[in-house]
Amino acid sequence: MATDTRGDAATKDKEKKPRRKRTSPLLFYRQVVAELRKVIWPTRHELVTYTTVSLIFVIIVLAIVFGLDNLFSWATLKAFG
């Protein structure tokens, strides 16, 4: 007395989905260009601002990691050196 415990999973294997037709490279290129036209590109001022903020953030994180690395190195040398 076997019971089918797989539920919908058993019927999904039996159903065959129709294969989609592949997109041609030319159509793909046209779709990419159409999507890129929808993008709101930043102005030069916004780009400079975003870049400056990113660089400052990276420098701050770099300083924190450098400081922690030196602190842990010093503590390790004091403990085991």
Structural domain boundaries of the chain?
42-81
Dihedral Cα 35, 44, 51, 34, nearest 10 deg: 0
**pLDDT(15) > 80:** no
**pLDDT(9) > 70:** no
Instruction: Specify the DSSP class assigned to residue 80.
Output: H
pTM of the model: 0.56
- Model pLDDT, residue 31: 95
The full 3-state SS of 44-79, as one line of letters, equals HHHHHHHHHHHHHHHHHHHHHHHHHHHHHHHHHHHH
CB 4 within 8 A of CB 10: yes
Tens of pLDDT, residue by residue over 26-67, are 999 999 999 999 999 999 999 999 999 999 999 999 999 999
